[in-house]
Structure 1
Amino acid sequence: AEFDYDPSKDPSIPGDRGLSFRTGDILYVTNAADDSWWQAKRITDGQEEEELGIIPSKSRVEKKERARQKRVNFNQGSGSRSNTLDRDKKKKKKFGLFGKSVDRKDTQSGDDSDNEQDNLEPVPSYELVTQHEVNHTRPVIIFGPFKELINDQLLNDHPDKFANCVPHTSRPKREKEVDGREYYFVPSREQMERDIQNYLFIEAGEYGGNLYGTSVSAVREVANASKHCILDVSGHAIRRLITAGLFPVAIYVKPRDVKWILDNMGDEANEERAQQMYEKSIKIEQQFGDLLTAVIEEETLNDVYEQTCAVIDREQSLEYVWVPSKEKL
C-alpha cells in the first residue's frame, strides 16, 4: 500500500467490512473482480491475517485522487507548470550520467500525458511486490536532514557492523595512492562509461572532468564481509540495488518542520539553509516513498539515531523482504 486507508472515514465503503491499512502494509488481494472494490487480507511477518475485508481498488483510488487534483488545479490556475519543468531540469542535472535514462523512462510512462495535459501529480495507490530471501548483510541508505551526522555516528559507534565502500574513478592514480584503498582506478574513461551503460554502477557522476561512481561489486564486497555498507546516494539507487539483489534498508528521517531543523542545527543554525533542507527533504518521500523501508520522525537527533539503529537491526533479522515486482498492476 502506498497510502493510508481508514474505512470508518470513507462513507462509500459497503457496510462495515472495510479493511484498514497504512502506507507500507502488505496486502494479499483475494478477489479483484470488481472495478471499485477488492477483497484483501493484511500480511504480517510473512503470515496472512485471518481478517478479510474490502479495500478500494487501484482504479478507484486513482480516479478519486485525480478528481481532487483537478479541482485544486482549477482553483489555483496552471501557473505551476513552469515549476514542474524547472524541477525536471534540476533532476537531470543532479543525477548526471544516469539522468538521461531515468528521465526518458519517466516521460514514457502512461500517466505523463495526463500530467502534461492536466498538470496532475502521480497518484500513489498500490504496487505489486514479491518476496525475496535475504542471505547477506543489507546496505543502508539514510535520507533527510542530518544524514551525514547519522552515517558518521553509525560508522564511529559500530565499526564492526558498518563500513563505507571504495568508489571507482576514471582519473589517474596519484602518488602514494593505492588501488582499492582510496579508489578503484578504472583504466580509462571509455571503460567506465561502458560499465555504467552495462548497469555495473548504482550511481555515477562527473567531477573535474573525471568520472566517479559506486559500483554494485563494491557494495557487495562490504556485504560479503558481514557489514552494512553505508551509502550516500540518491533515491534512484534504491531500485538499482534491488535489481542487483542487495535489498537496501532505506530510511527517511522526516523533519517535523523548518523549526525542527533549526533546533537541531546548533551553532550552524541558519533559517534560509534550514528552509532549503526542509524543501529538499520532503521531496524524498514524494518521489521514493514506495521504496522506503521506514520513515522516522522523532523529537531529537538522539531519538532519531536510536530509532535508526532499531530499524536496521529489525530489518536485518528478517529472512525475507518484500520488493517491487517487475510486473505492474
Structure 2
Amino acid sequence: IFLAFFLKKEAQETTKSLNSTDQQDEWILSYEPVTQQKIDYVRPIVILGPMKDRILEDLIQDQPQKFGVCIPHTTRAPRANEVHGALGSYYFIAMEEMKRQKDLGLFFEVGIHNENLYGTSINSVKAVSSKGLHCVLDVRGDAIPELQKKSIYPIAIYIKPKLSYRRGMNVLDEKIVWLQELNKRLTHDACIKIIQQGERVSAEFADCFTASVTGDTIEEIEESVLHVIKLHGGSEPWLPSGEMIP
C-alpha cells in the first residue's frame, strides 16, 4: 500500500518562488510504502511552518486534558527559581553524563547555547505519553526522522500559506497579506523571513509530514490541526513500512 505525497515545486525552489510572479503551482507526485501498524503509545505532535508557536501554545493551554509538554535536559546550572525535573524547568545534568547519554542514542534532539547543551530525550516524550497525552514538541524538522529512527512516529503537521490567487498579486505578496491578516504586528521583512523559513522546511521535510493545513484565521487552522490529530491519533495508524518501492 502506498501513500501519495504531493510536493509543490515552489517549496523545493525557495529563491525562484519568492521572486516569481507566476501563480501556476506545479505538483510533483511521489510515493512511500505504508502499512497499518498497532502502536502502544500516544503519538507526539510536531507542528512546523508559519504561526506554529501560536498553535502549539493554544493546544497546550486550551486542552490540557489532551496535550502535554515534556521536560528537557540541560547542562547549565539551575537558576534560583528552577527546580530539577519540574514542569516548565529542566533536568539538570552534568556535561559528561549528557554526552554519554547522547552517544547512547537517548536523545533525539541536542543543541548548544552559551557552551551548554540542551536536549530532549526519548524517555521524556514517553513520560508524557504514559499519561495518555499527546506530547507537544517545539522542535526543528530534523527531529522528526530522529524520532522515527527510535520507532516513535509523531503526527507532523505543516502550516502552509493560503493563496487566493488575487488578480495582479504575485505569490509572495499573497503570502505576506495572509500572514499579516493572522498577525497584524508582523512587518513586511518579518513576513518574508517566516515565508523563507517555511519553504525551506517544506522542501527538506515534506516527506515526513502527516498532513498540511491552512486557513484564513487562527481558529480555522487550529480546527484543521485538531482534525488531523483526531484522524491520525488512534492506536492503529498508517505508518511508513520501510519497504522499497519496486
- Structure-to-structure mapping, 1:213-252, within 5 angstroms: 213-252=119-158
User: Could you list the runs of 5+ residues in structure 1 that have no partner in the other structure?
Assistant: 3-20, 25-64, 66-79, 81-122
Question: Is the aligned partner of 1:264 residue 2:171?
Answer: no
Q: Deviations over 1:230-253 (max 9, x none)?
A: 101111111122222221000000
2:121 aligned partner, one-letter code: S
User: Could you list the runs of 5+ residues in structure 2 that have no partner in the other structure?
Assistant: 10-15, 17-27, 163-174
1:152 equivalent in structure 2: 57
Report which structure shows greater RCO (CA 8 Å, sep ≥6): 2
C-alpha distance in structure 2 between counterparts of 1:249 and 1:307, whole Å: 13
1:136 aligned partner, one-letter code: Y
72, 90, 97: which is aligned to 1:191?
97
Matched-pair contact (CA < 8 Å) for 1:195–1:201: yes
Question: Is the aligned partner of 1:136 residue 2:41?
Answer: yes
Matched-pair contact (CA < 8 Å) for 2:5–2:29: no
Distance of aligned partners of 1:285 and 1:223 in 2 relative to their CA distance in 1, 3 Å threshold: same
2:73 equivalent in structure 1: 168
290, 302, 315: which is aligned to 2:232?
315
Q: Percent identity?
A: 33
Q: Deviations over 1:171-215 (max 9, x none)?
A: 1233443221111111x2122112222221111111111100011
Matched-pair contact (CA < 8 Å) for 1:242–1:323: no
- Structure-to-structure mapping, 1:1-329, within 5 angstroms: 22-23=4-5, 125-181=30-86, 182-186=89-93, 188-256=94-162, 257-266=175-184, 268-317=185-234, 319-323=236-240, 325=242, 327-329=243-245
Structure with the higher fraction of residues in helix conformation:
1
Matched-pair contact (CA < 8 Å) for 1:251–1:293: yes
C-alpha distance in structure 1 between counterparts of 2:37 and 2:214, whole Å: 28
Larger radius of gyration: 1
CA RMSD of aligned residues (A): 2.3
Aligned length, in residue pairs: 212
Superposed displacement of residue 324, structure 1: 5.3
Partner SS, residue 189 of structure 2: helix
